[in-house]
Chains A and B, each alone.
Chain A
């Protein structure tokens, strides 16, 4: 069990829990962040910038603060 913000680039993982308030939760789920969904990090921006995450057919960028709300299991 690990946070998405700590995941290594390119390592496959599966979402195990999303710990966010209602509005963030819905925003994340609308973009495809759901428990059981596989994902991986494509790249991180310099200077602690956002992460580029790939879930299925969708690429999403989000800040580390938001990524820390998502728990994952590495495969």
Chain B
């Protein structure tokens, strides 16, 4: 099998090109010599099956950043038949250095000049034919977004592949990578001979938009309004989809699964229906929101607005050891923590990424909101309700800021904040859909495994030993509740609420349902029952604990897989549990001491 690597600088449309060539067949894979996952896809090229690998976007091969190290190690450990180098035509004057570096390694290469339309608008003319001769490699203008020039580029790649030369020797590459070179002077000569760049750029649409969106005083309010509208859109559009999915899953249960398990032993049908099915259905309920979230996110990301948000918020975030992009992710966490955690991938510095990931699970996600609305309705008057909810949102922000400030010393951000500000771009529908699809596949793949184990465990805990009523204090879950009483009593959480908290560890959506199981009633009757069993101080303490303590299993699993560190996952769990307890303790004992 032939192996082709796709290489380019950040913001050149590399992922777009990769998606366009590979379609939806891409998968994440591990490669010798590197620890991160790279996307790859099998494609047919000139009668050969070729594996196309999407390397991280890098500025050069020197190896100072994490991504540059990844590319160096990849090249030094994996034999290649071809490198497709992708440059942004309108920035060819500085991006050509990457081509020269690859050329020095004697790697067979095709040079694709992307965003030909943008360069044309900026008045930049590139003589691809003379550049082809001079560089001794095919140079082709393309538009990854619209597909222009792509057949020609693939044809050039096929020609090289069909020559059936032996693949490169990684060891030789490894040696060549050590040698530095005179690339800069060479680059200037090439630009002078083959490229014409006007003194001032003629395309100033981006400047005009920036004058408003990056305005000294209006910039931030506009940004907040935009984020608010995006949230509104995600949840307004997501709600009917979620309801539809819930209806379909319910139908699946009553029409197919319940008859199927009607004659099975009670434990089996309980395990399959109340355990595994309910668990998987809970994960499935995330899916519409996740899809929408990623569609919107990839649109915002590709448009160039995220870099602007980073510019606007950076001063404030710097005080907490984070930067503007971290703020965007924190906001996204208010929808759902899981995609927000995945969104931190845009950060290059690992310490900053970890600090941001430590903060995100504290944002009041939509699942926690359900629990709060239930509790608030049961225990507070309609007049008090908005203030209680508002307080919880304030607490969410406060705990995030506190966490960032406390841990910023541990996660010192060594990378300076230097970011390219790309011009505004409109992503195509195809681009958005493909990107969203990849993320959803990734999420489902991981979350399902984790959720199934989790729900089976919770089901067993609340149904055994089998001679006592389910979820009563005689079950294992009840015994655990009693076990935790010394810890939970001081914060006013009784053993019934404690069982709900255990359910809440799997997913916050289950908390309300588990209260229904525990009290054996639902709807208004449940709320009345709650009000007689629990007073408002206890309820508030319970809500504060629910807000801050360990996020759902999906979030924990995502924390683990995104950080690739169990230690980091445990740090997050232990920190949020301790913080939750301290906050609830201070609140509960304080309120009691004041006579409430």
Contact = CB atoms under 8 A, between A and B. Distances in A.
Main secondary structure of the interface of A (DSSP, over half): mixed
B494 interface: no
A50 B201 contact: no
29 contacts: A28-B418, A30-B94, A30-B97, A31-B94, A32-B93, A34-B184, A42-B210, A43-B214, A45-B214, A45-B216, A45-B219, A45-B312, A46-B216, A46-B315, A48-B315, A49-B311, A50-B314, A50-B315, A56-B93, A56-B94, A56-B197, A57-B197, A58-B91, A61-B418, A63-B416, A63-B417, A63-B418, A66-B417, A66-B418
B187 to A, nearest CB: 11
A30 B310 contact: no
A34 B94 CA distance: 10
A49 B324 CA distance: 10
Interface residues of B, number: 38
A62 B418 contact: yes
A52 to B, nearest CB: 6
A62 B318 CA distance: 12
Contacts of A50: 311, 314-315, 417
Interface of A: 22-24, 26-28, 30-32, 34, 42-43, 45-50, 52, 56-63, 65-66
A62 to B, nearest CB: 4
A45 B419 CA distance: 14
Contacts of A56: 93-94, 197
B387 to A, nearest CB: 30
Contacts of A58: 91, 94, 420
A37 to B, nearest CB: 9
B397 interface: no
Contact of B419 (A30, A46, A62): A62
Given A32-B94, A56-B93, A47 B315 contact: yes
Contacts of A48: 315
B316 interface: yes
B123 to A, nearest CB: 10
B421 interface: yes
A63 B314 CA distance: 9
